Structure 1
Amino acid sequence: MSQLLTLVFGRLPIGWLQLTHNRGRFIAAVAGVAFANLLVFMQLGIMGALNSSTVAPYAMLNADIILSSEDGNTLTDGGHIPRVRMFQALGVAGVADATPLYIGNLPFTLDDGSSVSLLSFGMDVAQPSFASPGIAASLSRLTLENTALLDEGTRGMPASVIAKLTDGGRYSFETGGTTLTAIGTMDVGGGFLADGMVIMSDQTFLRLFPNRTSGAPNHILIRTADGVSPDAVVARLQAALPKGNIRIQTMAGSAANDLAYMATERPTGIIFGFGVFMGILVGLVIVYQVLSTDVADHLREYATFKAMGYGQPFFLGIVFEEAMVLAVFGFIPGVFVSMVLYAGLVSVTGLPVVMDAGRAILVFFGTLAACSLSGAIATRRLANADPADLF
């Protein structure tokens, strides 16, 4: 390693030699940086799962514009919207088609007594173009009364049930006094709001939720005519529809707003964001403590260099070298342990916690920056020190 660092820096790797001179302290420092990396990775992983599960329902839909109740914060909450707005929207230039979307939470109990909650979507199966291609192909099968497509990633659902459905079988269960039969699957995944998702016809939805009416869907999905900008149609809809408790957004804009709300308004997003900050702070404190102790231990050597004419950039170079070594050696175990914990979280919770390259790169360069900042702070004592005072 010394020879490699000599080639990298073009000089004797003083920082590396100082760190590894005391093996116990070096291992403890690397473990501290790895722990800080682990904290950040876990918080970012759960935040990523929160974001993925928030926008996952949008992947089931194929629309350009969505009309929602103004009191709704995300796709899956908020009030209802009058269905008459759909007919009014169809008269606006640039609108090609529209359909209502019904959403509700459907709980039921498995044979072993455990409870599962399904985020349920009711759609007009006569308009399959509003569903994603993978779902649209099976949507016509849902014209049968009380049938549905079940999410393959439903948390808590026995693997034998999913295997049976993918092989063309059926799975019936009781919910709200009604027997619902899953006749196929879709791949969406569980999240923070429910264990999984299920899609059915609007008529089946209204039978399962007797308090709901066809005249008050949760959203209205709109497809624009070919070649017409959704943003332009949004502006026309805002001008044409009655003012009031209605929000008109493009699908992309709605998804972005959902993410912003979950990250900045919901307690879960705020807590995990604060956890990332705490992980960074822990890393800063650990590295600063290690580097400042190292500077104090070698103060006489630094004084000798200073008396020989070496300036502050030389000392910064040594400490930055130490910071880089700690960042690299702490990142490697941090990322591998995080990947193991990610896999454990996925198997236990079913949340979409994955290690992507972008996150790993972000954390690595963040670790380098944090270690460098700690190093810069640790060398402040040398900046204005008089060599004669250091002996």
Structure 2
Amino acid sequence: MDKIQFSDVVLFDRASRPEFGPVAEYFQQGKVVETEVDNRRVTVKGLFTLGASFGADGNLVTSDLNFLRIFADRRTKGLIDVGIVHLQPGTDVQAVVEKMRATLPNDVRISTKAEFVEFERKYWEESTAIGFVFTLGAAMGFIVGIVIVYQILYTDVTDHLPEYATLKAMGYQDFYFLSVVFQEALILAILGYLPGFGVSLVLYNLGRNATSLPMYMTVAKALTVFVMTLIMCGASGAIAVRKLQAADPADIF
């Protein structure tokens, strides 16, 4: 970080999108890498890894003085957009946050790291078109999944309706049939989830390489999707079992 104290020196994000050119490769080969940022010539003196995002295709790190040299108009508009405050280990973070909120003016937002991450996530999910598209796609996928699983279970129930009617005539209650259909739904959920998980890992890798976005499959994501898959198949089973509840053995035979 001491390198950025020199005039017109920046650090380059090696995980930036490829349209910025092979900056990281040239630097690692020992070449002098010079480029322009807002019509000002700068020199790359180091690398770091952050990754692109929906709002930025690449990132640079430099000092406050170099920042003002590159973006001279920010002298009048204000220098700081986001600042980081490091606390000593063992400090009551929430108490410091509350004190800063009480001290600083209302136009300054004070957040913990977790609160800032949640704020950014909610912004992209709820306040942007791409967030709406992703949410709509997930909802439509869930609904289509319910319909497909329902059709599979309904067809199976219809094909074996005489057998179910026989069991019903023997005194088996609706709860038994519900458990049978739910077992089938559980099997479908597991058999569908496992290959889907494998395909998702491949798609995550392809998406990460194509967009330079830090897309990774986490345990939390995998568990969330598995639970949603169970709910989806359970809902389909609950709808399909109504066919059995309405079946009358006298009508079947």
TM-score, length-scaled by structure 1: 0.59
1:211 to 73, 76, 83: 73
Which amino acid in structure 2 is aligned with residue 173 of structure 1? Answer: T
Structure-2 change in CA distance of 1:229 and 1:176 (3 Å): same
Aligned pairs for 1:302-313 (under 5 A) are 302-313=164-175
Deviations 1:223-256 (A, max 9, x none): 4566542332333333334x44332333432232
Report the counterpart of residue 142 of structure 2 in structure 1. Answer: 280
Higher strand content, 1 or 2? 1
Structure-2 change in CA distance of 1:371 and 1:227 (3 Å): closer
Q: What secondary structure does 2:152 align onto? A: helix
Work out the number of aligned pairs and report it.
252
C-alpha distance in 2 between matches for 1:367 and 1:228: 42
Which amino acid in structure 1 is aligned with residue 231 of structure 2? Answer: A
Higher helix content, 1 or 2? 2
Q: What secondary structure does 1:342 align onto? A: helix
C-alpha distance in 2 between matches for 1:158 and 1:176: 14
Report the counterpart of residue 262 of structure 1 in structure 2. Answer: 124
> For structure 2, which runs of at least 5 residues remain unmatched after alignment?
none
Structure 1 position 232 matched with structure 2 position 105: no
Answer whether contact 1:287 1:371 (CA < 8 A) is retained: yes
Structure-2 change in CA distance of 1:157 and 1:324 (3 Å): same
Q: What secondary structure does 2:75 align onto? A: coil
C-alpha distance in 2 between matches for 1:156 and 1:342: 18
Structure-2 change in CA distance of 1:228 and 1:208 (3 Å): same
Q: What secondary structure does 2:72 align onto? A: coil
Q: What secondary structure does 2:15 align onto? A: coil
Answer whether contact 1:284 1:374 (CA < 8 A) is retained: yes
User: Aligned-residue CA RMSD in angstroms?
Assistant: 2.3
TM-score, length-scaled by structure 2: 0.88
Q: What secondary structure does 1:190 align onto? A: coil
Report the counterpart of residue 176 of structure 1 in structure 2. Answer: 38
Query: Displacement, 1:309?
Result: 1.4
C-alpha distance in 1 between matches for 2:36 and 2:204: 34
Structure-2 change in CA distance of 1:368 and 1:231 (3 Å): closer
C-alpha distance in 2 between matches for 1:237 and 1:365: 40
Query: Displacement, 1:307?
Result: 0.8
Q: What secondary structure does 1:184 align onto? A: strand
Answer whether contact 1:206 1:212 (CA < 8 A) is retained: yes
Q: What secondary structure does 1:196 align onto? A: coil
Answer whether contact 1:166 1:184 (CA < 8 A) is retained: no
Query: Displacement, 1:297?
Result: 2.1
C-alpha distance in 2 between matches for 1:247 and 1:182: 32
Identical-residue share of aligned pairs (%): 39
C-alpha distance in 2 between matches for 1:329 and 1:305: 27
Structure-2 change in CA distance of 1:379 and 1:259 (3 Å): same
Give the structure, 1 or 2, with the largest relative contact order (CA under 8 Å, sep 6 or more): 1
Which amino acid in structure 1 is aligned with residue 36 of structure 2? Answer: E
